[in-house]
Amino acid sequence: MNQNPLNLIKIINHALLDKERGLGNLNIKIDKKEIELLAYLAGGDARAALNSLDLAVKAKKIGKNKELKITAEDI
């Protein structure tokens, strides 16, 4: 079932903040532009968006201030 892009953005933001089932325990820095890119590339599929985010996070090394900066290139 295709999701509205705004719903996907909400789902991605929730995953970034959720400390129990999401990525909220990590210090992830990602701009609105990259979140919108994830939603767009997922083609309405929330699982694809979340899997892509997870892969981008796992592929990054922790940088300054123990943060993970996700860029469009990472996505």
- For residue range 46-71, list pLDDT tens digits in order: 999 999 999 999 999 887 788 999 99
Residues ≥6 apart with Cβ < 8 Å to 71: 34
Asked if 36 and 74 count as a contact pair (C-beta separation under 8 A), the reply is no
Say what the pLDDT of residue 3 is. 64
User: What amino acid is encoded at 42 in this protein?
Assistant: A
pTM: 0.88
Least confident of 9-18, 23-32, 59-68: 59-68
**Roughly what angle, to the nearest 10 degrees, separates helices 5-17 and 46-59?**
40
Rounded mean pLDDT, 27-36: 96
